[in-house]
Structure 1
Amino acid sequence: MPRGADTPRGAGTPRARWLVPLLVALAVVAVTAGVLAARVPGGAEAAGTGVPGGPTPAAEPTGPTPAPGAPEVPQPVTPTCSPLGLLVTAGPVDAGLGHRGVVVTVTNCGDAPRDVTGYAGVEVLDGTGRPMPFTVAHESSYTVIDPGPAPLVLQPGQSAVTGVSWSATVTDGGLTEGQALRVVPVPGDPGQVLPVWVDAGTTGEIAVAAWATELAR
């Protein structure tokens, strides 16, 4: 057999020895570039960052979303001096053995004496700010003693108190739960709304004591 008959033509030449590794290197470069291009999102290369961008963060919520149809709690009136020079505030609700009581204070914030003799006008409001059909009794209760009306004049800066009380007893009928109290300290003065939750069970009744310099014990 003639010499070189089994060797492909040109396989042993210098050009063949360097051409094959060069083609292999070019193929590796092309595959690597394709993989990188698939990993970098559109726009990252143009921006020069080369870092894949993450998802756009969601906007922070501005506050809780009320449930559909949920009643709105009446907003309390900002404590200010009324046209007759009286300011009404409420303390925390005192609870025990199914009974509730809250101390309501009236302060003479004007510049002249003010007669507050008698009982405050008190209404229980629902979640929309409308009066509820509560019975109001001027009498003592389990948590509050009614001293009865007595002459009482407040000098500027002086205060008087009353107690508003109710029972959380549940028997028959629908629940009567008020979301606020509207208090008229003396006839002719605007009502002032106080954020007091009245969980009166099924009684539908509150008791209001007369204004006094201090609660009767």
Structure 2
Amino acid sequence: MTARRAAAAAVATIAALAVPSCGSRQDPGPLPTAVPTAVASTATQAACPDPGVVIRIGDVDAAMGLRALTVSMTNCGDRPYQANGYPAVRVLGDDHKPLDVRVAPGTSDITVDPALTAAPRPVTLQPGGTATAVVMWRNLVTDSTVVATTGTYLEIAPTTGAPAQTVTPKGGIDLGNTGKLGVGPWTAASQSEPAQS
């Protein structure tokens, strides 16, 4: 055997030892595809904020200056969640600071729509169950000397004192210079309704 062939054979032997063959004891086998239990549990908790519900919104429905926004609250926990009354809502600016906006439950001077003026009733959400409420306002400018208000975000909690979640309505909250919006009560939603985005 020539020196060149001997060197080539030695390199091949070293390479074979360094890379284990499939099925050998050193072969780690296929990579696991399942998420470890601890990671999965953490991801589930992160997707279900306190107090066990997730809040989403639909698109703003605009007609002749009247704006309506559907808010949904889904029980993402593993036990029933009791809702009674109105969501607690604050309008935030670009800097996430509250704007000077009066938020009132069932404000009839905005509209006489039944969704806004209905009386609140207790709602029990089973895991996966959803309740909805409506937020309404008017985009009116009644005084040209008053700066119009436009909110960028809504901070919404299931009720006063509960942890809030921040959502971003498409197009913002264009209140003109009315400085107010009305909030309807939580009502049970049909399980067949499409989820809000």
| TM range, smaller chain | 0.5 to 0.7
- Listed as ranges, the matches of 1:177-192 within 5 Å are 177-192=150-165
Give the alignment's TM-score, normalised by structure 2: 0.65
Which of 132, 139, 152 does residue 168 from structure 1 map onto? 139
Runs of 5+ unmatched residues, structure 1 = 1-78
Q: TM-score, normalised by structure 1?
A: 0.60
Q: Does 1:116 align with 2:83?
A: yes
Give the superposed CA RMSD: 1.8
Higher relative contact order (CA 8 A, sep 6+): 2
| 5+ long unaligned stretches in structure 2 | 1-45, 191-197
Q: Within 5 Å, which residues of 2 pair with 1:76-115?
A: 80-115=47-82
Larger strand share, 1 or 2: 2
- Opposite residue 176 of structure 2, the aligned amino acid is G
The structural deviation recorded for 1:81 is 1.2
Q: Percent identity?
A: 36
Q: Does 1:194 align with 2:167?
A: yes
In 2, the alpha carbon distance for the partners of 1:176 and 1:85 equals: 33
> In the superposition, relative to structure 1, how do residues 200 and 109 fare at CA in structure 2: closer, same or farther (>3 Å)?
same
Partners of 2:118 and 2:189 in 1: CA distance? 10
Letter of the 1:87 partner, please give it.
V
Residues 82 and 189, structure 1, Cα contact 8 Å, conserved in 2: no
Question: How far apart in 1 are the matches of 2:80 and 2:189?
Answer: 18
Q: How many residues align?
A: 137
Where 2:133 maps in the other structure, the secondary structure is strand
Please list, as runs of the form range in 1=range in 2, the aligned pairs for 1:129-148 lying within 5 A after superposition: 129-139=96-106, 140=108, 141-142=110-111, 144-148=115-119
**Which residue identity lines up with residue 191 of structure 1 in the other structure?**
A
SS state at 1:174 partner? coil
Structure 1 residue 145 displacement after superposition: 3.0
Q: 1:189, CA displacement in angstroms?
A: 3.0
Amino acid at match of 2:140: T
Report if the CA contact (8 A) 1:110-1:156 is conserved: yes
